[in-house]
């Protein structure tokens, strides 16, 4: 029995924490889970949409209070709090938000937020770092609101005098755990090589953190998309407050030949929840791309999610690792629980004592998440189940809501849950206590530390554990325990019959069986989910408690009429009954050889074959009994045991298939089917753009002239020829028939009259323009010459100063329009040699329509500041390079030009001869 180490710890603990604070989760795209029943049930009422960070909080009874993505706060009605917008988190920040109850208050909470520190992203001109806001549930008629004067209060987690730190301010990591005094809470974050522990107590948030400097320096690293990749990854502290782990998804930028996602690390430290100090660094993982972290409920194991990429940053697979923190060599204790196509996502401990994992399977929509059912167990006995928690049609992304880790400090587990078993209950935490009370939910109780209890009926029981120390109770912990009965099975021996026709000797009574075909009859065709395992003896079945030595479903009998023994489980329970099957062989009925033809519409040598109709035709042709079913297979071995049957509509090239006929789930006969793919002209939909003057036009199917007479036609206009004339825009459909093969195909021909371009605006940007057209159609653009070179892009670059015209026409050249514009600028040089080219220097591109009523002038100076010429560039031909009638020497000269709006332009140019 555990002993106390602090009376204060227990007195405060029940006030501050209740596991039901974590009863409701909202995350991903409108996804959520409710844990009040003991099993996670989908929540479909959430409004949150986030890629990563999120947080939620409930009351001690498991009723939702509010939730957030770090930017917006929704109350328990799923309405945005009046002042609940504009928090400074980010939907793509790993741990965007964390909710902390204010010690000593039943209505006030703090939302800590962390921005995404990606400085060069255009939509994030300023990185906000770590901030907190206060929510008071007494406001807004009891539905809560963000307190005005405690919103986005900034916390310093950087050196303001360091330009790099002042720019990025933080990572994307935050976690929390109870202080050793049992009442205050440490909120912990990390940046570069420092940990910051902020204390939250009855007085509020202490903005002066405890700072721990560690060995690992992780600099901000910006990739090509402007993201700070070193900020990504989770930070988690253990429930007992003694360890803290951090995942740096990247610690260097990498390179195009080595890959940019292979520099991440996982580091483990000691944490002192008495003084907030982080110490004793241990590198657990390197050269990786880790993301999610979580400790087991007993704080003895650490779980890590990691993604593996190749040198081109293409995702290969994702891993779930486990580290044993009690092993003398923690690094080498790593076990790979699974390697799969699931991207590394968050790991989060729940009030049911299980750890849940987000991170969708590659190329899927993430409609479920995964679970570690027994996270205190070492190795694969932790019972990891991938993609098994359905979200009710909503989608998970990468994040899951974090909580104050200490609320998961104690829990219990149980085993032996079949009706009639003595169900064993045991505590799985390290928390001190001196007495316990178990309430089994059936009117029976126990004060034993590890009781055994027999439930009299099947059902779901709310088992309540209350632990006490020195007369002070912890919050009760409730789990839903499901007591199941064993499934009903066939009491007689079931004969599984197989045709003895697919091996060398069709009369020896030895052949290959598909044992799975016996599952339904021996379980009396129950609608309940079952799991069945087969053995050669009852002893083998009984001794194989983990069912790891069961026979393969594809099994060749050892003797004629061999008996096998089946353990039939009710799915996802430990409850089973035994059944017996006998493997018998029979001679098959000859179904014969058949042929089926269809047309290839795509010119790819494939066609669609209706196998369901062909099976019915064969059965009718042979007058087979009504209880005989026919299925088709690609291989003889599949047909022999009835696995991998082909779908009713099967797309294939010309090939042979194998026929299997069954009667009452037993082999009846076999045969063959030949598939023939016949050619059919490839017809494509057409789109025709024409000018208005081109009507009427001829449209046709596009068939080769030599084939036109081989087919029949019917148009949407009711015409029956290969080609028709149309007088207007529209969509025309034609069906083409091959009567000999009974095949038909159809195409649509879209006739569209080209639009005349309509210029919306010309945007001038320095020496470039972008022409905006009021149309989604494609147009061509040319500069200054209607007969010049046209381009598809509506942006024209490198345009010299001066007056210009842009010409626009549609791609079919129906009509061309033009618009004039000016490019404003100053020539770099001029050559006053009277050759008719560049003889005068002037300001180019001044729109006379814009400045016609304005008085403007430009002044010309020599290098000594002497005014040489002043003139109006709109009314003057410019400066001819003379002063007092004398041509000046080649040199650089300066201009000063001021517009009526106050804009001033200065520069210099060259006089050349």
In Å, what is the CA distance from 640 to each residue of 95, 502, 561, 703?
Answer: 55, 6, 18, 45
Averaged pLDDT for residues 24-47: 94
pLDDT digits (tens, 9 = 90+) for 268-290: 999 999 999 999 999 999 999 99
SS3 516: helix
Mean pLDDT of 774-788: 89
Which residue intervals of 41-173 are DSSP H helices?
Answer: 163-168
Element (H, E) at 850: helix 848-851
Interval 658-676 mean pLDDT: 89
Can you tell me the mean pLDDT for 185-204?
Answer: 95
The pLDDT value given to residue 854: 66
Rounded distance between C-alpha atoms, residue 784 and residue 322, angstroms: 70
Higher pLDDT, 475 or 122: 475
* pLDDT value of residue 4: 35
Q: What is the pLDDT of residues 43-53, one digit of tens each?
A: 999 999 999 99
The angle at the Cα of 831, spanning 828 to 837, to the nearest 5 degrees, equals: 100
Q: Which strands form 530-535's sheet, in the order they lie side by side?
A: 494-499, 576-586, 562-570, 530-535
pLDDT of residue 122: 44
**What confidence category does residue 875 fall into, taking pLDDT thresholds of 50, 70 and 90?**
confident
Q: In whole angstroms, what is the distance from residue 441 CA to residue 458 CA? A: 12
pLDDT at 363: 66
Q: How far apart are CA 482 and CA 461, in angstroms?
A: 6
> What is the pLDDT, as a whole number, of residue 290?
96
Q: Is the dihedral of CA 341, 346, 350, 354 positive or negative?
A: positive
How many Å apart are CA 736 and CA 700, to the nearest integer?
11
> Two tokens at 497?
């019959």
pLDDT of residue 430: 58
Q: Which residue has the tokens 């489980």?
A: 569
* pLDDT of 755 above 80: no
* Confidence (pLDDT) at 561: 93
**What does the DSSP 8-state code read for residue 182?**
S
pLDDT value at 555 more than 80: yes
Q: Would you state the structure tokens that stand for residue 385, as one six-digit string?
A: 């189940």
In the predicted model, what is the mean pLDDT of the chain? 89
* Whole-number pLDDT of residue 900: 82
pLDDT confidence tier of residue 16, bands split at 50, 70 and 90 = very low
What percent of the chain has pLDDT above 90?
63
Nearest to 477 by CA among 895, 21, 12: 21
For 468-519, write each residue's pLDDT tens digit.
Answer: 988 888 777 777 788 999 999 999 999 999 988 777 777 788 999 999 999 9
Span 360-377, average pLDDT? 85
- Using CA atoms, how far residue 294 sits from 17, 171, 299, 372, 847, in Å, is 19, 18, 9, 11, 67
State the Cα–Cα distance between residues 114 and 95, nearest whole angstrom: 7
Looking at residue 11, its pLDDT comes to 28
Is 532 a residue whose pLDDT tops 70? Answer: yes
Whole-angstrom distance between the N-terminal and C-terminal Cα of the chain?
103
The span from the CA of 310 to the CA of 289, in Å, is 11
- Cα angle value 650/651/653 (rounded, 5°): 125
Dihedral pair phi/psi, residue 589, rounded to 5°: -80, 140
pLDDT of 6:
30
Confidence at residue 254, expressed as pLDDT on a 0 to 100 scale: 66
Q: Per-residue pLDDT for 851 more than 80?
A: no
Confidence bin at 125 (pLDDT 50/70/90): low
107 pLDDT exceeds 90? no
Give the pLDDT score at 256.
55
Count Cβ neighbours within 10 Å for each residue of 117-140 and write b for 16 or more, e otherwise.
bbbebeebeebbbbbbbbbbbebb
Among 734, 743, 733, 746, smallest CA distance to 679 is for: 743
CB 140 within 8 A of CB 82: yes
Q: 752, 758 in Cβ contact below 8 A?
A: no
Q: Which residue has the tokens 């009954």?
A: 577
**The predicted structure's pLDDT at residue 131:** 96
pLDDT of residue 259: 65
How many other C-beta atoms can be found within 10 angstroms of the C-beta atom of residue 420?
Answer: 12
The residue-averaged pLDDT of 360-365 equals 72
The tens digit of pLDDT for each residue in 394-423 reads: 999 999 999 999 887 766 778 889 999 999
d(CA 66, CA 55): 9
Strand, coil or helix: 284: strand
User: What pLDDT does residue 545 have?
Assistant: 78
Give, for 337, the enclosing helix (H) or strand (E).
Answer: strand 335-340
- What is the distance between the alpha carbons of residues 401 and 35, in angstroms, rounded to a whole number? 13
Domains and CATH numbers, the chain: 18-407 (2.130.10.10), 413-474 (2.60.40.10), 494-586 (no CATH), 589-679 (2.60.40), 686-753 (2.60.40.10), 759-823 (2.60.40.10), 829-911 (2.60.40)
């Amino acid at each position: 029995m555990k002993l106390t180490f602090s009376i204060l710890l227990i007195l405060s603990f029940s006030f501050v924490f209740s596991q039901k604070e974590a009863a409701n989760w909202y995350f991903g795209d409108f996804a959520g889970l409710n844990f009040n029943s003991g099993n996670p049930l989908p929540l479909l009422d959430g409004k949150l949409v986030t890629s990563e960070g999120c947080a939620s909080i409930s009351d001690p009874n498991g009723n939702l209070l509010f939730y957030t993505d770090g930017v917006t706060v929704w109350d328990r009605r799923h309405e945005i709090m009046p002042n609940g917008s504009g928090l400074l988190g980010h939907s793509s920040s790993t741990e965007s938000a964390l909710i902390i109850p204010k010690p000593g208050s039943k209505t006030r909470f703090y939302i800590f937020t962390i921005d995404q520190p990606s400085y060069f992203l255009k939509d994030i001109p300023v990185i906000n770092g770590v901030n907190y806001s206060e929510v008071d549930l007494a406001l807004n008629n009891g539905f809560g609101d963000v307190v005005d004067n405690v919103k986005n209060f900034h916390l310093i987690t950087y050196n303001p005098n360091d330009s790099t730190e002042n720019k990025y301010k933080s990572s994307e990591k935050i976690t929390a755990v109870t202080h050793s005094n049992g009442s205050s809470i440490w909120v912990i974050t990390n940046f570069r090589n420092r940990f910051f522990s902020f204390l939250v107590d009855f007085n509020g948030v202490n903005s002066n953190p405890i700072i721990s400097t560690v060995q690992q320096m992780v600099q901000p690293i910006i990739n090509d998309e402007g993201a700070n990749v070193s900020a990504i990854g989770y930070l988690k502290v253990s429930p007992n407050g003694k360890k803290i782990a951090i995942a740096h998804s990247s610690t260097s930028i990498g390179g195009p030949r080595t890959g940019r996602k292979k520099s991440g690390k996982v580091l483990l430290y000691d944490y002192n929840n008495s003084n907030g100090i982080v110490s004793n660094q241990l590198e657990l993982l390197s050269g990786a791309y880790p993301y999610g972290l979580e400790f087991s409920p007993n704080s003895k194991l650490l779980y890590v999610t990691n993604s593996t990429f190749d040198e081109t940053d293409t995702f290969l697979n994702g891993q779930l690792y486990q580290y044993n923190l009690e092993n003398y060599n923690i690094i080498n204790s790593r076990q790979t629980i699974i390697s799969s196509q699931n991207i590394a996502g968050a790991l989060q401990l729940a009030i049911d004592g299980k750890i849940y994992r987000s991170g969708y399977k590659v190329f899927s929509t993430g409609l479920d998440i995964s679970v570690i059912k027994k996270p205190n167990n070492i190795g694969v006995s932790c019972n990891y189940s991938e993609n098994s928690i359905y979200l009710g049609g909503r989608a998970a992304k990468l994040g899951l809501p974090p909580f104050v880790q200490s609320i998961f400090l104690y829990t219990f587990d149980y085993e032996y849950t079949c009706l009639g078993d003595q169900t064993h209950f045991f505590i799985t935490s390290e928390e001190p206590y001196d007495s316990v009370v178990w309430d089994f939910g059936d009117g029976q109780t126990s004060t034993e530390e590890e009781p055994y209890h027999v439930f009299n009926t099947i059902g779901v029981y709310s088992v309540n554990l209350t632990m006490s120390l020195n007369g002070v109770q912890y919050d009760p912990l409730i789990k839903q325990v499901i007591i199941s009965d064993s499934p009903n099975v066939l009491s007689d021996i079931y004969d599984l019959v197989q045709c003895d026709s697919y091996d060398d000797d069709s009369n020896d009574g030895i052949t290959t069986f598909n044992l799975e075909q016996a599952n339904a009859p021996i379980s009396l065709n129950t609608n309940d989910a079952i799991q069945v395992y087969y053995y050669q003896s009852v002893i083998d079945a009984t001794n194989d408690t983990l069912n790891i030595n069961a026979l393969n479903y594809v099994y060749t009998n050892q003797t004629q009429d061999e008996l096998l023994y089946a353990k039939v489980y009710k799915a996802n329970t430990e409850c089973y009954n035994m059944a017996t099957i006998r493997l018998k062989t029979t001679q098959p009925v000859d179904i014969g050889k058949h042929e089926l033809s269809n047309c290839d519409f795509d010119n790819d040598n494939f066609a669609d074959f209706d196998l369901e109709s062909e099976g019915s035709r064969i059965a009718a042709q042979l007058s087979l009994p009504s209880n005989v079913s026919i299925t088709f297979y690609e291989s003889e071995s599949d047909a022999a045991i009835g696995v991998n049957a082909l779908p009713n509509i099967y797309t294939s090239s010309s090939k042979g298939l194998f026929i299997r006929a069954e009667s009452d789930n037993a082999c009846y006969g076999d045969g063959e089917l030949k598939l023939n793919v016949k050619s059919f002209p490839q017809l494509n939909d057409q789109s025709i753009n024409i000018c208005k003057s081109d009507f009427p036009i001829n449209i046709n199917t596009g068939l080769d002239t030599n084939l036109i007479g081989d087919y029949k036609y019917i148009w949407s206009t009711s015409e029956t020829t290969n080609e028709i004339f149309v007088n207007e825009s529209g969509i025309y459909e034609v069906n083409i028939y091959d009567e000999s093969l009974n095949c038909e195909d159809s195409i649509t021909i879209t006739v569209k009259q080209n639009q005349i371009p309509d210029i919306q605006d010309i945007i001038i940007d320095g020496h470039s323009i972008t022409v905006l057209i009021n149309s989604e159609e494609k147009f061509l653009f040319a500069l200054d010459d209607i007969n010049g070179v046209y381009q598809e892009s509506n942006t024209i670059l490198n345009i010299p100063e001066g007056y210009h015209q842009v010409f626009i026409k549609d791609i079919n050249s129906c009509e061309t329009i033009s618009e004039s514009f000016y490019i404003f600028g100053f020539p770099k040089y001029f050559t006053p040699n009277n050759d008719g080219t560049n003889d005068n220097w002037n300001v180019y591109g001044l729109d006379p329509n814009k400045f016609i009523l304005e008085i403007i002038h430009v002044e010309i100076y020599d290098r000594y500041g002497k005014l040489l010429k002043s003139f109006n560039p709109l009314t003057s031909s410019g400066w001819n390079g003379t002063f007092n009638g004398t041509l000046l020497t080649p040199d650089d000269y300066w201009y000063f030009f001021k517009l009526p709006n106050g804009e001033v332009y200065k520069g210099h140019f060259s006089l050349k001869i």
